Amino acid sequence: MIHREGHRILIVLLVLLAALNVVVYYFSPPTSVYFNVFLTFSVLLYLLILQFFRNPRRLTPAHTRHVIAPADGKVVVIEETEETEYFKDRRRQVSIFMSPVNVHVNRNPVEGVVKYFKYHAGKYLVAWHPKSSTENERTTIVIETPGNLQIMMRQIAGALAKRIVWYVKEGQAVGQGEEFGFIKFGSRVDVFLPLNAKVLVNIGQKTVGGVTVIAELEE
């Protein structure tokens, strides 16, 4: 299944590559290998972009105390940190890095109501840079659970990611595992948890968005 964010890009790319291949074929000498090489390159490039926009169906194990991974990728940060934008206190941060080969759909880690949303324009530092969380293009989304706990997600653009997409707004009720956004071409998602949340993943562990339980909340 191909994500809706990829439909226009994939159609434009297909038309462009087809046109370029026609030009190369027309102007290549009869015995030239240029056309075969360019055709092979075009197919491989298209398949690479195509896999980036894949959107596999996921069955989320819904649970009111579980925090589900918001993205596919690898856990790169687990630490206690000062959150200065919304909570303005100490929080437990879990960060997931998405490489260009990961699924880039972002999913709600909990069910509840969106209490806060803000988009920040910014830089495009590599996603694992320590300052990317505060200086890169990003969004901040806070969901309040039915148990009155608040969980923050922060979509962060990386060096390749030039566009963050979101599908939520303040006051909206959201379900656990539902899509809340998409980041194009490599990025990171930070999750900020209460300090008493029990983190269930480790540094370097791979996550499956909408499936992997990254933490358990105390209610």
Beta strand 206-207 with 187-193: parallel, antiparallel or unpaired? unpaired
Is 187 a catalytic site residue?
A: yes
Q: Pull the structure tokens for residue 22.
A: 């026609």
How far is residue 145 from each of residues 13, 27, 179, measured CA to CA in Å?
41, 62, 16
First-to-final CA distance of the chain: 37
Q: Which residue in the list 95, 132, 133, 187 is annotated as catalytic?
A: 187
81 and 195 Cβ atoms separated by less than 8 Å: no
**Whole-angstrom Cα distance, residue 110 to residue 108?**
5
214 and 109 Cβ atoms separated by less than 8 Å: yes
194 and 98 Cβ atoms separated by less than 8 Å: no
**Whole-angstrom Cα distance, residue 29 to residue 26?**
8
Residues annotated catalytic, as ranges:
187
